Amino acid sequence: MGKNHKIQVMELFAGVGGFRLGLERANPDLFEINWANQWEPSRKSQDAFDCYARNFNNGTHVNEDIATISEEAFQQAAPDLIVGGFPCQDYSVARSLSGEKGIQGKKGVLFWEIRRAIAHTHPKYVLLENVDRLLKSPSRQRGRDFAVMLATLRDLDYSVEWRMINAADYGFAQRRRRVFIFAYKNGLSFDCEQGQYSKEEIVFKNGFFAKPFAVKDEPYKNRIDSVELPEDIVEISDEFSFTFHPAGVMRNGEIFTAHVDPIQIEPTTLGEILLDETEIDEKFYLSKEEEEKFDYMRGPKKIERQSADGHKYYFSEGGMSPTDSLDKPGRTMLTSEGSKNRSTHIVEVNGRKRRLTPIECERLNNFPDNWTAGMTDRMRYFCMGNALVVGLIEIMGKRIEKIEKQNEVVDVQLELSLS
């Protein structure tokens, strides 16, 4: 790869910088994150943005509502790669008022801002992250939202791969499932190479995800499906329903999807990422009353309740272990981590029960210790509950690096043949 070659990166919905951190770990000389946006609506304090700006010195950091950012600002950033994790929302679309073909996404749906950025910059690659329920939402029309996204990328001239990855399956310390979406511009040498394979070969052996995140040759319970997306995105919004499995590929509107079975790597355990007990502040240990409260919340329940119209029903909840096993990876960390909530991790060390510290939560997501220092503990938990597992992005960054090397070799060969 050329000595001064750089991939210019635009980071949208940057949070505390998990994408950037992962890419810079993959190759700091290749990935140059020159423009990033982070904005937390209806909050006076912009803790995530402040954390991002504190940890990263170079590049343009924008703390504004993305909907107010001009197309010119996107174009000036001139990204080769757009990355971002964005909220799962309702992606229903409609014809414009005058009835011509086109889309009107619901106001506030942030995916349309990603579309706007892509449409005005035409990057080679797009790497996005979302919660796993995206593949099945909305419940009344399964798969519609993801199909709208795929059709949008198809219409912008991209092919797309996706994979739902549980970080613990590939050696990390948290059982965190997230959908990753990799889109690449049609016509790149990577696109031409992928076109030589069947869609099944892409998903199981040769695609963007299959190379670094290996899977077994056979799908889980033989779950595979294929479909062609309708041309009209409004028709997709109104009528389309389909079962998207955890992995798949879309090329020219043709979809192949499979429930892949990961070839697992031994995970890091919760016990391995804990601080030494001599470093734990007393405030993280549970009082007797808190122990009893957590025992109740984590225990099985069957409670009679009454709805507003007087209807009686039972609320049931299965039991879970009073403490989290130190011999397994942590459970999925939520934004409520650290609060009095059954989803909060509780560990028992030397006979004492306690919450995880903010540093341990950073370790669960593969961030450096004290990455979020400077904000309240509550916000540190919240930011880590929203974050991704950095090591996964590092692996994907290395995959993009290989693809970019391949592109460069093909470009040089093309130049030589034309000269």
Residues catalogued as catalytic: 88
Cβ(39)–Cβ(66) below 8 Å: yes
Residue with tokens 């040759």: 217
DSSP secondary structure letters along 7-20: EEEEEES-TTTHHH
Residues in the chain: 419
Question: SS3 of 401, please?
Answer: helix
Name every residue whose Cβ is closer than 8 Å to that of residue 233 and which is 6 or more positions away in sequence.
93, 103, 148, 151, 152, 155
Rounded distance between C-alpha atoms, residue 158 and residue 251, angstroms: 8
CA distances from 313 to 303, 304, 306, 318 (A): 8, 6, 6, 16
β-bridge partners, 367: none
Rounded distance between C-alpha atoms, residue 338 and residue 343, angstroms: 9
Element (H, E) at 235: helix 233-239
C-alpha count within 13 angstroms, C-beta hemisphere, residue 328: 11
* Residue among 246, 12, 280 nearest 143 (CA): 246
Question: Which pairs with CB-CB distance under 8 Å and at least 24 residues apart come from 186-190?
Answer: 186/157, 186/158, 186/159, 187/157, 188/124, 188/407, 189/406, 189/407, 189/409, 189/410, 189/411, 190/403, 190/406, 190/407
Q: Checking DSSP bridges between strand 81-85 and strand 7-12, what pairing results, if any? A: parallel
Q: Which two tokens stand for residue 226?
A: 């294929």
Rounded distance between C-alpha atoms, residue 416 and residue 408, angstroms: 12
β-bridge partners, 354: 285, 347
